[in-house]
Amino acid sequence: MNRISHWIDGNVVASTSGNTAPVYDPATGEQSGTVDLASVAEVDMAVATAKAAFPEWRSTSLSRRAEILFRLRELVDANRKEIARLLTAEHGKVLSDSLGEVARGLENIEFACGIPQLIKGEYSEQASSGVDVYSIRQPLGVVAGITPFNFPAMVPMWMFANALACGNTFVLKPSEKDPSVNMFVAELLAKAGMPAGVFNVVQGDKVAVDRLLEHDDIAAVSFVGSTPIAQYIYETGTKHGKRVQALGGAKNHMLVLNDADLDMAADAAVSAAYGSAGERCMAVSVVLAADEIADDLVSKVAERIPSIKVGAGYDDGNEMGPLITGEHRDKVKGYIDGAADSGATVVVDGREGLPAEGYFVNPTLLDRVEPGMACYDDEIFGPVLSVKRVSGYQDGLDTINASPYANGTAIFTRDGGAARQFQFDVQVGMVGINVPVPVPVSYYSFGGWKASLFGDTHMYGPEGINFYTQGKVITSRWPDPATSSVNLGFPETR
Ligand code: NAD
């Protein structure tokens, strides 16, 4: 059976903790591997390695860092299929979706290739007589990334590409549910010329996470995962003096107004709700349908569902794979049970027609869902789309703004004025206008508001560069010795 270990100081390092976790093929439910779970001593070893590698890496020229990232870009590009294959085998998502994930991750490496331009400071000549003032941005030191199961390749790339480009060294703690892909990425980094110790992977669970959060030599933590853990990471990490950005869960609403193109809206809702079996933090999980068009829209969504091909992610032609674990499948089914009991209408029931093996739930459509029902209030993270009927724009907007989550949202309309008003009014971090999954491109930054983000810096893009660097301002004078004199007054600029 495949054993997945750590990557420390440029080598695969087997754990001696004695703790492991099983890794499954979610399409069959069979165990495909075993992942090592780090002890505190193993985390310490990875951090010590990263700390030792920092002085040389931060002194490495910007053009050399960019060169390594350009090479990494080529290697990831050339190995897209292999990364996608590893990802599908343990996550379950279909290969085309895995390839999409790799492509969006790659964008972040491409962004980081521009580091010489991105990290430029500012310079003010003659801020005072003979005095120049300038700012520079410097790396933080050893930074850690803790990542979720649902984007095992892309989310680490959101973090390490910019962190390394800025001159930090990195310790990644990936999800223990699909750990293989980052061992392969670590090899690619080494092949690209990244010095040993600059990028390390520790496999593990809460023991490893807690050690990273309290370790004196970790300067900053980037986290992506569920809201309760994001809050815990933020509170614990900041208590230990670290800079923390912790992205949490989501419940994304798509508001469909009366004037929307209903076929386009139905296509978008189906794609965004059932893509990756709903295991995306930017999935649409609630459609807010204006009363006048709600019946039509529900029919249009329902009639599209039977043609979605559900099956193993690695079999060509399938469009939706299984969920990550048997436990998660049972939880998702529980929400469908609860929806029926609490008065929602189960229009398409994904509990029916399931294969005998694997962690599948079929696409499910619930209508007449209301706040207060668990299927509305909670993040289900499965292929379950709820429809709540609203009287119009204001009712829809109020519903979205009342949600504790605020990751993504979308409006579907032909009315430019309504769309612009929505962009102005809505209390959500990422907004789509006739775009259902508005994940920002890598040269903007990604992040929600409210319970979808703890901390004040969004991830990747320009905010990523800020997060992984600290500013320094230098006030400099190279005086003519002939003009030097004693002056006890407070320095003035005029
Ligand atoms: P999770 O919170 O269970 O796990 C995320 C990471 O935290 C993993 O590495 C895990 O090992 C670690 N972890 C889990 N429990 C812990 C604990 N008690 N103490 C310390 N560490 C712990 O999340 P998940 O199930 O892997 O991922 C799905 C969640 O991530 C969903 O809620 C989804 O919305 C969210 N997510 C958010 C974004 C975003 O950008 N906002 C992106 C992707 C996923």
Report DSSP letters for 19-79, one per residue. Answer: -EEEEEETTTTEEEEEEE---HHHHHHHHHHHHHHHHHHHHS-HHHHHHHHHHHHHHHHHT
* Nearest alpha carbon, ligand 1 atom 32: 226
Mean per-residue pLDDT, 35-63: 98
* Nearest alpha carbon, ligand 1 atom 13: 206
Nearest one of 179, 193, 181 to 82, comparing CA atoms: 181
**C-beta of residue 141 within 8 angstroms of C-beta of residue 194:** no
| The token pair that represents 363 in the structure block | 């696409």
Residue pLDDT, tens place only, 50-78? 999 999 999 999 999 999 999 999 999 99
Q: How many C-beta neighbours within 10 Å does residue 216 have?
A: 10
**Residue 163, CA atoms < 13 Å, CB-side half-sphere:** 29
Report the pLDDT value the prediction gives residue 492, as an integer from 0 to 100: 80
Calculate how far, in angstroms, residue 256's C-alpha sits from the geometric centre of ligand 1.
Answer: 30
Whether pLDDT at 483 is above 80? no
d(CA 181, CA 112): 20
Residue pLDDT, tens place only, 163-217? 999 999 999 999 999 999 999 999 999 999 999 999 999 999 999 999 999 999 9
Residue pLDDT, tens place only, 2-21? 999 999 999 999 999 999 99
Whether pLDDT at 455 is above 80? yes
Check if 262 has its Cβ closer than 6 Å to any atom of ligand 1.
no
Active site amino acids: 281
Please check whether the two domains, 2-248+452-474 and 252-433, share a CATH topology.
no
Check if 202 has its Cβ closer than 6 Å to any atom of ligand 1.
no
Q: Poorest-confidence range of 48-62, 319-333, 453-467, 469-483?
A: 469-483
**Residue 229, CA atoms < 13 Å, CB-side half-sphere:** 16
CATH number for the domain formed by residue range(s) 252-433: 3.40.309.10
* Nearest alpha carbon, ligand 1 atom 19: 206
Q: Could you tell me the fold of the domain covering 2-248+452-474?
A: Aldehyde Dehydrogenase; Chain A, domain 1 (3.40.605)
Cα separations in angstroms, 410 against 204, 282, 448: 36, 10, 13
Check if 150 has its Cβ closer than 6 Å to any atom of ligand 1.
yes
**C-beta of residue 268 within 8 angstroms of C-beta of residue 373:** no
d(CA 306, CA 349): 11
Calculate how far, in angstroms, residue 267's C-alpha sits from the geometric centre of ligand 1.
Answer: 29
The overall average pLDDT reported for the chain is 97
d(CA 92, CA 34): 17
The whole-angstrom distance between residue 397's C-alpha and the CA centroid of its chain comes to 25
Nearest one of 156, 193, 220 to 63, comparing CA atoms: 193
Report the pLDDT value the prediction gives residue 118, as an integer from 0 to 100: 98
Containing 166, the helix (H) or strand (E) segment is none
Check if 225 has its Cβ closer than 6 Å to any atom of ligand 1.
yes
pTM of the shown model = 0.97
Report the pLDDT value the prediction gives residue 493, as an integer from 0 to 100: 77
Where do the structural domains in the chain lie, given as residue ranges? 2-248+452-474, 252-433
Check if 147 has its Cβ closer than 6 Å to any atom of ligand 1.
yes
Report the pLDDT value the prediction gives residue 284, as an integer from 0 to 100: 98
Whether pLDDT at 258 is above 80? yes
Residue pLDDT, tens place only, 88-117? 999 999 999 999 999 999 999 999 999 999
Check if 226 has its Cβ closer than 6 Å to any atom of ligand 1.
yes
Check if 175 has its Cβ closer than 6 Å to any atom of ligand 1.
yes
To the nearest 10 degrees (0 to 180), the angle between helices 80-91 and 62-78 is 70
Q: Which of 151, 154, 175 to mutate to test the pocket of ligand 1 (most atoms within 8 A of CB)?
A: 175
Q: How confident is the model at residue 148 (pLDDT cuts 50, 70, 90)?
A: very high
Nearest one of 325, 310, 315, 312 to 363, comparing CA atoms: 310
Relative to beta strand 364-367, strand 384-390 is parallel
Q: How confident is the model at residue 330 (pLDDT cuts 50, 70, 90)?
A: very high
Report the pLDDT value the prediction gives residue 482, as an integer from 0 to 100: 80
Whether pLDDT at 360 is above 90? yes
Give the E-state strand segments of 174-251 in sequence order.
199-201, 218-224, 243-247
Whether pLDDT at 494 is above 80? no
Q: Which atom of ligand 1 is nearest to the CA of 175?
A: 9
Residue pLDDT, tens place only, 273-315? 999 999 999 999 999 999 999 999 999 999 999 999 999 999 9
**C-beta of residue 37 within 8 angstroms of C-beta of residue 175:** no
d(CA 25, CA 298): 34
Mean per-residue pLDDT, 327-341: 97
The per-type count for the chain, helices as H runs and strands as E runs, is 16, 23
Dmax over Cα atoms in the chain, in whole Å? 90
Mean per-residue pLDDT, 411-438: 98
C-alpha dihedral, 95 to 99 to 102 to 106, nearest 10°: 170
Report the pLDDT value the prediction gives residue 1, as an integer from 0 to 100: 83
Calculate how far, in angstroms, residue 224's C-alpha sits from the geometric centre of ligand 1.
Answer: 6
